[in-house]
């Protein structure tokens, strides 16, 4: 499928690059709707391979790239069941997310996240599946999960560890603080910082440059440079599910859901 106009995202092939655009209010939260369409996208990857040499993931939302998991939906669904059913429902969701993230990570071409604004939690994890992150200077990155009694659950820690020194990983995960694009570039997360509102244009220019190279060589380089940390990703699922079942998480999620603020877990 060359184009796809979905409810949470859309994609099209433009100048040999697939442009996957997230557009789901308020800020592209990853819940069942976004997950279902991401699954549709990754199942189309093998056919898109013949038409494209690069993938750009960006957001149509001015608020940001993606605010992470849909915590309100997660809380609502988890309240409908208890005990073992709650755990199996959560595990099913997390397994599906991991399958999507792994498919994006190993996409058979170079992938670019063009990020703006809020790039938090699951949104940060989505960006980390990409080979390059090009960030608007107003982008902000954060793993706030510890504030809810959780760890990042969509593959964030293993992918961050793959890219960065452990000290930076500890700083981001254990303090839960947010950092701007310039800091993220200094840390080695972001490859280019652009003017405000210019990340997608720069990503398109970068994709045009990638077209000049032999695709098989680029793919061999990517697979050599960026192995997928499967063992750690499996371990992350186990820890996340174990933590999720504690009462402290339910309390944290309830506080989040009952607040009217956009980011109630932040200071």
Partner 1 sequence: MRSICGNIVDMSSLQSTTDEVLRLAAEHFKVPREQLTPDDDFFKKLGINSLQALDLLTRIEHHFHIELPDYELQGVSDFRTLAERIQLRL
Q: Which residues are catalytic?
A: 125, 145
In the complex with partner 1, which residue's Cβ is closer, 59 or 178? 178
Q: Look at the block and give the residue holding tokens 């309390």.
A: 251
Residue 264 interacts with partner 1 (CB under 8 A)?
Answer: yes
d(Cα 189, Cα 167) in Å, to the nearest integer?
Answer: 13
Using CB under 8 A, pick the residue from 66, 97, 118, 190 that binds partner 1. 118
CB of 77 to partner 1, least distance (A): 24
Residue 83 interacts with partner 1 (CB under 8 A)?
Answer: no
CB 101 within 8 A of CB 39: no
In the complex with partner 1, which residue's Cβ is closer, 38 or 71? 71
Nearest to 35 by CA among 112, 122, 146, 109: 122
In the complex with partner 1, which residue's Cβ is closer, 124 or 244? 124
Residue 61 interacts with partner 1 (CB under 8 A)?
Answer: no
In the complex with partner 1, which residue's Cβ is closer, 18 or 179? 179
Nearest to 207 by CA among 224, 192, 188: 192
Using CB under 8 A, pick the residue from 6, 69, 117, 152 that binds partner 1. 117
In the DSSP assignment, the letter for residue 214 is -
d(Cα 68, Cα 267) in Å, to the nearest integer?
Answer: 18
Task: Lay out the site mask for partner 1 across 120-149 (x = CB under 8 A, - = otherwise).
Answer: -----------------xx-x-x-------
Using CB under 8 A, pick the residue from 86, 183, 226, 255 that binds partner 1. 183
Strand partners, 142: 120, 178
Q: Look at the block and give the residue holding tokens 């993230």.
A: 101
CB of 236 to partner 1, least distance (A): 24
Nearest to 118 by CA among 192, 188, 61: 61
d(Cα 216, Cα 82) in Å, to the nearest integer?
Answer: 49
Residue 263 interacts with partner 1 (CB under 8 A)?
Answer: yes
CB of 188 to partner 1, least distance (A): 16
In the complex with partner 1, which residue's Cβ is closer, 55 or 181? 181
Of the ranges 11-19, 37-45, 81-89, 169-177, which one interacts with partner 1 (CB under 8 A)?
Answer: 169-177
Using CB under 8 A, pick the residue from 47, 175, 205, 209 that binds partner 1. 175
Sequence-ordered list of residues with C-beta below 8 angstroms from that of 258, at least 6 positions apart, any chain: none
Phi-psi region of 117 (alpha: psi -120 to 50; beta: other; left: phi over 0): left
d(Cα 49, Cα 150) in Å, to the nearest integer?
Answer: 36
Q: Which residues bind partner 1 (CB under 8 A)?
A: 27, 63, 117-118, 137-138, 140, 142, 175-180, 182-183, 261-264, 266-267
């Amino acid at each position: 499928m060359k184009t796809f106009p979905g409810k949470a995202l859309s994609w099209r092939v433009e100048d040999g690059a697939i442009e996957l655009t997230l557009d789901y209010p308020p800020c592209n939260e990853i819940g069942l709707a976004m997950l279902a369409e991401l699954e549709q996208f990754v199942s189309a990857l093998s056919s898109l391979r013949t038409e494209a040499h690069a993938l750009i993931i960006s957001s149509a939302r001015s608020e940001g790239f993606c605010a992470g998991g849909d915590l309100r939906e997660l809380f609502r669904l988890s309240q409908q069941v208890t005990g073992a059913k709650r755990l199996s429902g959560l595990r099913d969701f997390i397994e599906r997310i991991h399958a999507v993230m792994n498919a994006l990570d190993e996409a058979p071409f170079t992938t670019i996240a063009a990020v703006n604004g809020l790039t938090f939690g699951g949104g940060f994890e989505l960006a980390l599946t990409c080979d390059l992150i090009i960030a608007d200077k107003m982008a902000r990155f954060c793993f706030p999960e510890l504030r809810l009694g959780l760890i990042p659950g969509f593959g964030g820690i293993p992918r961050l560890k793959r890219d960065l020194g452990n000290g930076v990983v500890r700083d981001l995960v254990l303090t839960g603080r947010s950092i701007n694009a310039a800091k993220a570039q200094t840390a080695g997360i972001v490859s280019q910082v652009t003017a405000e509102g210019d990340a997608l244009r720069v990503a398109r220019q970068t994709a045009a440059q990638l077209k000049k190279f032999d695709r098989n060589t680029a793919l061999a380089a990517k697979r050599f440079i960026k192995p997928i940390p499967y063992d750690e990703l499996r371990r992350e699922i186990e820890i996340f599910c174990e933590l999720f079942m504690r009462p402290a998480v339910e309390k944290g999620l309830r506080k989040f859901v009952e607040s009217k603020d956009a980011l109630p877990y932040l200071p």
